[in-house]
Copies of this chain bind each other. A is one copy, B any other.
Amino acid sequence: MPVTIQDVAREAGVSVSTVSRALAAPEMVREATRLHVVETANRLGYRPNRAARGLITGKTGNLGVIVPDLSNPFFPAILKGIQSQARGADYAVFLADCDENGAEEAALVQAMAKQVDGVILCSSRMSPSQLERTIGLTSLVLINRPVRDQPAVIMDVAGGMRQAVDHLTALGHRRIAYLQGPRASWSNQQRRRGLRHAGRRGMAVTELGPFAPTFEGGLHAADLALAEDVTAIVAYNDLMALGVLSRLADREVKVPAEVSVLGFDDVPMAGMATPPLTTVAMQNGRAGRAAVDLLVNLISGADAGELRRELECQLIVRASTATPREAWSGPRQVAAPARHGEPTEGL
C-alpha cells in the first residue's frame, strides 16, 4: 500500500536507479530528469523505506539514548536537546530507561546496538568493566562520565562548585557544609574536586553523607547539617536542596537569614521554591545537542571532530543565599523570639 521507489520510477518513466540518484546524488542526473523525478515523488508522497536503505548502507538513521531515570527532571532537559538536534540531522531517537541499573543499561545497549548507528549514554550507571565491555558494540558518546578517550560531553561541575564557593565567600561565609550524593558517582567526585577551592579561599568545609540524591535525602541531611557549626549548606543537587529547605522551614530556621542553601542542576522547581533556590545551572539542552553533534561526527567517520566537549556551568543566584546574619549553632529553642532580619532579597 505504501508508495515505493518502484512506483515513482514507473510513474516518472525512469528506472529505480535514476530515482534513487535523483533524490540522493543530485549531481549524477540531468537537471531536467531530477526535477521531474522529484516532482513525481512529491506528488505520490514517496518516502524512502529506511529499513531497506539501512539494509544496504549499514546505517539505520537512528540514535539511541539511555537515561538512568526519566522521572529525574535532570534528564528530560537533556533529552529535549538531543531530540531537536537529532531531528535536525534527520535521525530518529530510540529512548530507553535503565532504572538506575548498570546491568540493565548494558543489556539495553546490547539490544539497541543493531538498530542504531550510535548510542548516547546519559550519566551512565555502568561499572567501569561493564562500560569497557560495552564500548565497541556501537558508537558511543557519554554525557557526564568521561572514560579514557571515549567521546564525551562533560559539564564543568568543578568550575560550577568554584563559582558557588566564591559566591559564598564573597557573602562572608567561612564555614559551610557539603551534602554528598552517591559517593561513587562522577558528579559527586567533581563537586568535591571543586570544593578544594574553598580551602584556598580560607573556608572550612564539612562533608556529610553520602545521602540519597532525593528530596528525602535532603530532609535527612538537613538535620545533620544543622548540628554542624556552619552558615551555609551546599547540596549535591536541587532535589536534596529542596528537601533541606523544607526541613529547615519545618524547624523554623530562616533561609537565607540564618542559613544559606545552595543546590545543583537548576531543575524547574528550583525557581519556584520558597525561597527561590540559588543553584548551579547545567546547560542540559546544549549538552544534549553537543552529544548528538559528537555522535554524528563519530558515525560519519570524520575523526577530525573533537572528542570531548566541556560545557560551563553557571551559578544562578536567587534568594536562598545571603550574607550570614549569624552562625547557626546547636539546637534551637522552638519558642525563641524570631529576629526578623529582612531577608536581604535579591542579594
Residue ranges of A at the interface with B (Cβ–Cβ < 8 Å): 2, 47, 49-52, 54-55, 60, 70-71, 73, 76-77, 79-80, 83-84, 87, 92-97, 111-112, 114-115, 215, 242-243, 246, 249-250, 268-269, 272, 274
Contact status A93-B94, CB under 8 Å: yes
Give, as a whole number of angstroms, the nearest-CB distance from A134 to chain B: 14
In the complex, 29 of the A-B residue pairs with CB atoms within 8 angstroms, ordered by the A residue number, are A2-B114, A49-B55, A51-B51, A51-B60, A51-B115, A52-B55, A55-B55, A70-B77, A71-B73, A71-B77, A71-B80, A71-B268, A73-B73, A79-B95, A79-B97, A83-B95, A83-B96, A83-B97, A87-B96, A93-B94, A93-B95, A93-B96, A215-B272, A243-B272, A246-B272, A246-B274, A249-B274, A250-B274, A274-B274
Contact status A94-B96, CB under 8 Å: no
Nearest neighbor of A83 in chain B, beta-carbon distance: B97
B residues in contact with A274, CB < 8 Å: 246, 249-250, 274
B residues in contact with A60, CB < 8 Å: 51
CA distance A190 to B243 in the complex (A): 34
Contact status A50-B93, CB under 8 Å: no
B residues in contact with A73, CB < 8 Å: 71, 73
Contact status B246-A114, CB under 8 Å: no
Q: Which of A51, A52, A92 has the most CB of B within 10 A?
A: A51
**With A51-B54, A54-B51 as contacts: A92 and B76 at CB distance below 8 Å:** no
CA distance A280 to B251 in the complex (A): 29
Nearest neighbor of A79 in chain B, beta-carbon distance: B70
Q: 11 extra interchain contacts, Cβ-Cβ under 8 A, other than A51-B52, A242-B272?
A: A2-B114, A50-B115, A51-B51, A51-B54, A79-B95, A83-B95, A84-B97, A92-B112, A92-B115, A246-B272, A250-B274
Nearest neighbor of A64 in chain B, beta-carbon distance: B92
B residues in contact with A95, CB < 8 Å: 79, 83, 93-95
Give, as a whole number of angstroms, the nearest-CB distance from A243 to chain B: 7
Q: Which of A60, A77, A84, A97 has the most CB of B within 10 A?
A: A97
Nearest neighbor of A80 in chain B, beta-carbon distance: B70
Contact status B51-A80, CB under 8 Å: no
CA distance A239 to B49 in the complex (A): 42
**With A71-B268, A269-B269, A274-B249 as contacts: A94 and B97 at CB distance below 8 Å:** no
B residues in contact with A2, CB < 8 Å: 114
B residues in contact with A115, CB < 8 Å: 50-51, 92
CA distance A52 to B52 in the complex (A): 7
Give, as a whole number of angstroms, the nearest-CB distance from A205 to chain B: 27
B residues in contact with A246, CB < 8 Å: 272, 274
B residues in contact with A269, CB < 8 Å: 269
Give, as a whole number of angstroms, the nearest-CB distance from A269 to chain B: 5
B residues in contact with A77, CB < 8 Å: 70-71
CA distance A92 to B269 in the complex (A): 31
Contact status B114-A49, CB under 8 Å: yes
CA distance A60 to B49 in the complex (A): 11
CA distance A272 to B49 in the complex (A): 48
CA distance A268 to B87 in the complex (A): 30
Nearest neighbor of A92 in chain B, beta-carbon distance: B94
CA distance A89 to B215 in the complex (A): 34
